[in-house]
Structure formats: structure tokens, C-alpha cells
Amino acid sequence: MTLPGYTDHGGDGPVVVLLHSFLMDGRMFAPQLAALDGFRCVTVDERGHGETPATGPFDYWDVARDVLAVLDELGVSHAAVVGTSQGGFVALRMALLAPSRVSALAVLGTSAAAEDPAVAAGYRAVLDAWVSGGAPPEVLDGVAQICFGGFPVDEWKEHWRSVAPEQLKLTMGALVDRDAVLPRAGEIPCPALVLHGTADLAYPVERAAELADALPAAEPLVVVDGGAHFLSYTHPDEVNPALAKFLGTHA
């Protein structure tokens, strides 16, 4: 196995792994790195993103194994795992694959359900327009609206323009074809925190509520008024205190 790209940000505190959203990379957690200075934070670039190219079709179980391999490389027996959107998909699967290695789980703007078929078809249409049109501005603007709401993210849209079409096809395939893990959420024993924004355009708050209800050791659902899909990036002032309190207790 080739290890994914990762950054160990150092520190003597409990290890916290930060897993990014679709189309993003470890840089999206800059607001959290500044707030979690009492922890040893590790950011991982998931397959098809950042410094980790995808070499063929994959699913989020594969990505979960990649992240566990990073913990092996670092000699870390267990860690708290934080995931936003896609990162939450991966975090949940890590906790199912290796429950003894995930000491605490925090997910933001995520879902444990499979993608709705109608939504998946829409995402595939976006992919076709993106690939065939060379990342036209109206497509990037639409994707940015779903992910960030009205938050200004010109630097990320510029980054998206550089994504190779073959990588985009592979990462989109993993996103829209993922399996449901909600029926297995009861197998995750660790403390959990679910956060979700009321303005999330990808998943309604109901997806977060059903996940929080299904996780045996979940704390009460944290709902951020006006929060966008990539909640940790767009609303750190609301997210970071809840995250720091949860990790300070359970990491």
C-alpha cells in the first residue's frame, strides 16, 4: 500500500485526525488547527485529493484503511477522528473497521445514508459538464454554492480548475456510489458528536439527526443556525468551541 499524503502538525496532546471534504484537502482545517493547539493534529489528503492521487476506482472503505495505515506509520494506537462531509463518510467507516482505534468521533455536514439516486444523477450531470467544458465558471459557482453557501472561496475554485478529469471521475464515483452505514451505526461504541448547519444544501438536518440517534454514545446534536455544508470551514466560530470541548473530554 502507498501511504496517502499527510501532515503531522506535532504536539504532545492526544492525537486528532482531521479528514477533509470532497474536492478539498488538509488545508481546509486551518481554522481548527489554530483552535486545537492542545492536541497533536494530523491532516490526511484522501484518495484523489491533494497529495494523494487515485490510481483506479475506490470506495470510502479503502480510504478508511488508508487513514488507519497512516496511524500505523506514525505508531499511533488510537486517535480521535474529525470529518467534514466526505471526511465524515471515512471517519464512520474507520470506526466500523477498527473500533478500538477510534477513541472519539466528530462529524460535520455528513450523512450515513447512501446518496439519493436523484441527487447522484444530478452530481453526475455536473461532472459531465465540468469535464466536457473544462471547469466552466457557472459549474464551479454552483458547486461552491452547495459546499460553502455564500462564503467567498475564490482560492478553492481556482484550485478546482487544476483537478485532472480522471481524478474527478474517480472521486465522484466514490461519492455517488457509496453504501449506507446507518444500519451499522449501532456498532460504533465511541463517544460521538454530530454537527450540522441549517443552511446545508447537500444534506438536510434530518440526516444528521438520524445519525446522532443511531450512534449509541452520541452527544446531543449540535445545529448551527445558517451553517453551510462545509461547516468546519465556513463557521469555525460556532464549530470550534463545541469541537474543543468534546475532544478535551473524550480524545
- DSSP of 4-18: PPEEE---SS-EEEE
CA angle 132, 136, 141 (to 5 degrees): 130
**pLDDT of residue 1 exceeding 80:** no
pTM above 0.95, yes or no: yes
What residue ranges do the domains of the chain occupy?
6-115+179-250
Tell which residue, 59, 90, 102, has the closest CA to residue 189: 102
Band the pLDDT of 133: cuts 50, 70, 90.
confident
Which pLDDT belongs to residue 154? 93
CB contact at 8 A, 79 and 101: yes
d(CA 70, CA 64): 10
Which pLDDT belongs to residue 21? 98
Which pLDDT belongs to residue 176? 96
Count of beta carbons in the 10 Å neighbourhood of residue 117: 9
- Superfamily grouping for domain 6-115+179-250: Alpha/Beta hydrolase fold, catalytic domain (3.40.50.1820)
CA angle 163, 30, 217 (to 5 degrees): 100
pLDDT digits 0-9 by tens, 60-109: 999 999 999 999 999 999 999 999 999 999 999 999 999 999 999 999 99
Which pLDDT belongs to residue 2? 84
pLDDT digits 0-9 by tens, 187-240: 999 999 999 999 999 999 999 999 999 999 999 999 999 999 999 999 999 999
pLDDT digits 0-9 by tens, 23-66: 999 999 999 999 999 999 999 999 999 999 999 999 999 999 99
